[in-house]
Structure 1
Amino acid sequence: MSNTSSHPALSQAQTKKPRTRLSRDAKLAVLLFFLGWVMSYADRQLITLALPYIGEDLSLSPTQQGMLISAFFVTYAIVQIPGGMLVDRLGAKRTAVAGVLAWSVFTVATGTAGSFAVMLAVRALFGIGEGVYPAASVKAVAERTTSEQRMTATGWMYSSNAVGTIVAAVAGAALIGFIGWQGAFFVLGAVGVLVAVAIGVFLPKVRADSAAAIAVEEEAASTIATKDLFRSAALWGHVAMFFGYGVVAWGMSAWVPSYLVSARGIPLGVVAAAAVIPVLAGGVASILGGRLVDRLGGRHRLIVVPGMLACILVLAMMTQELPVPVFITLIGLLSFFSGMCYMPVFSSPVRGLPTGVVGTAYATISTGSQVAGILTPTIMGVVVENVSWEAAFGVLIAGCVICLVAALLVPRGPEEFLATFTRREKATADAI
């Protein structure tokens, strides 16, 4: 790999003052992919609301109902890395539009399924459609922002997760009540098609104000192959970091409501209303974390280490017998502190790597959280059944520790992360 820091075009680009404000095109790109993410979360959350009605109409056992949810997560996780490679090969816009169209079609198809086998197949295909979107959205935003803006822009885009969850809870429940669960899937699927069309028609072209910098990135990308990414210990360190984060996020969303209902006797309606607090806290934290890590030059440790230490403290407090309002407040704090770490986990690869390989790198890291989403709910269930709720919260603490340790072991910033590829290539050349 050539040392890009010595490239005259890059040197010229670096002498210019970094742009900290997003351009109009960048804002439009963030808005379009924000809408895509809102529909992504609304569509995937809708089935959790509709599941009792689906189970009754199709005569499904609790195990079969659970399999319908798991089918999405399995295919969604499997397609992450291949999806990222597809994004880098075919382009972010084309892959994003295809992904949104695909999952919207399968959202509509969910409303037409008349048997367990058909529904299971549809939800698995739905997961494949959604699985290519994360890498496409991040790459598209990266192509329309400077490296100094990327995590800020991505943080705004990912704040959509909170909006999508609330849309599913409010609009989804209302639609099911008025037109039935089948009609709810038809409506959300149709809206998703409109969002796909909007991305295809209105997404601005790749930024043209930094042509020299883009040329340097393309030159660097040609020297970093997919196999180089997969051989990178630094990249797998970020995968481990996001796995630890995912243990906290998925464990909390899967089991905290059950804890409040089963162990504390809180009515489900109250728990559902209280769930808005951590969702909003996480959305705000996503924006702040992205903006702050950009201000810090992509140095993730300055956010992830104190953020995970705060999460450990909050989780330790949650193991105590506390009044319910205090416990719900702690859930909000846990969502905030963990949410602050979301964007920083990706900062070094997304800011440091050329945009030509960002899709694959992002998708590889994202797989860490998906694996945590598959494993953590089951592990916590086993611990709750055989040990105690307090021990189950200890599983979440273990996730914090994994994230924290990985953050300390990987390179501290984008430049150091990219330099690991340079050193490996130099070592290979010296050996030859």
Structure 2
Amino acid sequence: MQRSQTESLEEAPAAASPATLNMLVLIPILLLMAATYVFYGWDRLVMPVELVEMRKTLNLDQRSAGLMASIFTLGIAVLSIPAGILVARLGLRMALGLSTLVFSGGTLLSGAAKGILALLIGRLATGAGESVFSIAFFMIIVALFPRWRGTAIGGATAIFGLSMFVGPRVVLALQAAGSGDWRFPFRFMGCGGVLAGLLLLFCVPQRLRAEEKTASRPQGWGWLRSRTLPAVYAMAAVNGLCCYAYMSLFQTYARVGQHLTPAEASFAFGCFGIGNILGGVPIGLVLDRTDRLRGVGILSALTGIAAAVLFLWPLHPTSAIVLSLIFGIGIGGIYGNCYALARENAPEARASLAIGILLTVYYLGASSSGYFFVLAMGDDFTANVRGALVMFLVPYLIASAIMLTTRRQT
């Protein structure tokens, strides 16, 4: 008599790929991971939203504040390459759970900081935890949908985009609930993340792995010398620099330099998240079935133009909303399809390493983005024309040219 699917699952080997798991088991896991990814996004938002108040309390100058807003990405950059190894050694359950506890602990420490040193440690801890979480999360997404990688990653970025949209208002509401204390949202987000991390540790099956193992031996390193991957990594570095320059300091720029109200600035920022939602899946669907490399090159040029227009002229609440939305669409489309390109151009045995390198270059660009944004725009944000060209338009156009030229040479 044929065994039931449940019996087969119970007698499965100690490690199983996502594709072999019962969907009744897999769906709750994915929902829990999605909820954790929301806290992952909110942890990144709470400091940019509260940066004006934090500067006053901790006596930070504009450049130091900008650096603190984006420095957590240095932790991601430093650990992203070994993160693939950690995920393989720890297993998906341990990697997801422990990394969530680490980045949530960093958020709690950031909210409790009395000076710049504690704040720096908290931000770096947040980045360190997020590096491992990102590798584990995206490896399972890619493994689940091998023929629709761009679309699947676009769906994940849509979750992130939704957290970006609602996040600023959630942070402001939490601050109001905490009697105006900017530290209260940090405590709430950190505690929520700790709870999610514990649930991941105890609810995700121990045998779940990110990818199927293959019998073949790992290939050498020649794949890194291909023309395509360096072009993809250059594109990722530019996208990380420009995305996190916006995420870290747009609200401060809009409030201090353009005199928008906190509500207007946070709503425009939220529309950037909606752009991620609108751009991720549709662009992924198109590029999954067309020329992904050329498509990302064209999208890079359009994204650079949209970002430059956003910062070139004085902001009105309506223009801030529309241009942030368009910029978010471009960012989301590039982000997901860079992941897909990295996976497609690396041997299966090196897939996690290829994505780890992608995250490293992406977050190396992101880690200094706040500092360079202030450097380009000026301490008082009056050099916005120079900043729009140097910080956004030129880098995206260079990356676009590299991607399109690489395609013509192959």
Q: TM-score, normalised by structure 2?
A: 0.78
Alignment of 1:30-429 (within 5 A): 30-54=30-54, 65-66=65-66, 68-143=68-143, 145-179=144-178, 180-203=181-204, 214=212, 218-220=214-216, 222-225=217-220, 227-228=221-222, 230-254=224-248, 256-257=250-251, 260-261=254-255, 264-296=258-290, 299-315=291-307, 317-318=309-310, 321=313, 324=316, 325-326=318-319, 328-351=321-344, 353-385=346-378, 388-395=383-390, 396-410=392-406
SS at match of 1:341: helix
Alpha-carbon distance between aligned partners in 2 of 1:51 and 1:327, rounded to the nearest angstrom: 19
The answer for the alignment partner of 2:9 in structure 1 is: none
Tell whether the 8 Å contact from 1:87 to 1:136 is kept in structure 2 after alignment: yes
Q: Which residue identity lines up with residue 269 of structure 2 in the other structure? A: A
Q: Which residue identity lines up with residue 403 of structure 2 in the other structure? A: A
SS at match of 1:272: helix
Alpha-carbon distance between aligned partners in 1 of 2:311 and 2:68, rounded to the nearest angstrom: 32
Q: 1:234 to 1:214 in 2, by over 3 A?
A: same
Tell whether the 8 Å contact from 1:293 to 1:347 is kept in structure 2 after alignment: no
CA deviation after TM superposition for structure 1 residue 138, in Å:
0.9
Alpha-carbon distance between aligned partners in 2 of 1:313 and 1:50, rounded to the nearest angstrom: 29
SS at match of 2:219: coil
CA deviation after TM superposition for structure 1 residue 31, in Å:
3.0
Alpha-carbon distance between aligned partners in 2 of 1:55 and 1:316, rounded to the nearest angstrom: 27
CA deviation after TM superposition for structure 1 residue 42, in Å:
0.9
Tell whether the 8 Å contact from 2:42 to 2:164 is kept in structure 1 after alignment: yes
SS at match of 1:223: coil
Alpha-carbon distance between aligned partners in 1 of 2:384 and 2:173, rounded to the nearest angstrom: 33
Q: Identity of paired residues, percent? A: 19
Alpha-carbon distance between aligned partners in 2 of 1:47 and 1:164, rounded to the nearest angstrom: 14
Q: 1:234 to 1:43 in 2, by over 3 A?
A: same
CA deviation after TM superposition for structure 1 residue 327, in Å:
5.4
Q: 1:397 to 1:26 in 2, by over 3 A?
A: farther
CA offsets per residue over residues 189-242 of structure 1, 9 Å max, x none?
Answer: 22212322333444466599xxxx956xx134x3325x5565555322211011
Q: 1:58 to 1:407 in 2, by over 3 A?
A: closer
What is the total number of aligned residue pairs between the two structures?
Answer: 382
CA deviation after TM superposition for structure 1 residue 58, in Å:
5.2
Q: TM-score, normalised by structure 1?
A: 0.75
CA deviation after TM superposition for structure 1 residue 100, in Å:
0.6
RMSD: 3.5
Tell whether the 8 Å contact from 1:304 to 1:344 is kept in structure 2 after alignment: yes
Alpha-carbon distance between aligned partners in 1 of 2:215 and 2:202, rounded to the nearest angstrom: 29
Could you tell me which runs of 5 or more consecutive residues in structure 2 were left unpaired when the two chains were aligned: 1-18
Q: Which residue identity lines up with residue 273 of structure 2 in the other structure? A: V
CA deviation after TM superposition for structure 1 residue 153, in Å:
2.0
SS at match of 1:79: helix
SS at match of 2:215: helix
Q: Which residue identity lines up with residue 369 of structure 1 in the other structure? A: Y
Tell whether the 8 Å contact from 1:243 to 1:399 is kept in structure 2 after alignment: no
Q: Which residue identity lines up with residue 219 of structure 1 in the other structure? A: A
The answer for the alignment partner of 1:421 in structure 2 is: none
Alpha-carbon distance between aligned partners in 1 of 2:315 and 2:61, rounded to the nearest angstrom: 35
Alpha-carbon distance between aligned partners in 2 of 1:41 and 1:375, rounded to the nearest angstrom: 19
Alpha-carbon distance between aligned partners in 2 of 1:402 and 1:106, rounded to the nearest angstrom: 35
CA deviation after TM superposition for structure 1 residue 348, in Å:
2.6
Alpha-carbon distance between aligned partners in 2 of 1:52 and 1:362, rounded to the nearest angstrom: 35
Tell whether the 8 Å contact from 1:96 to 1:133 is kept in structure 2 after alignment: yes
Alpha-carbon distance between aligned partners in 1 of 2:237 and 2:125, rounded to the nearest angstrom: 24
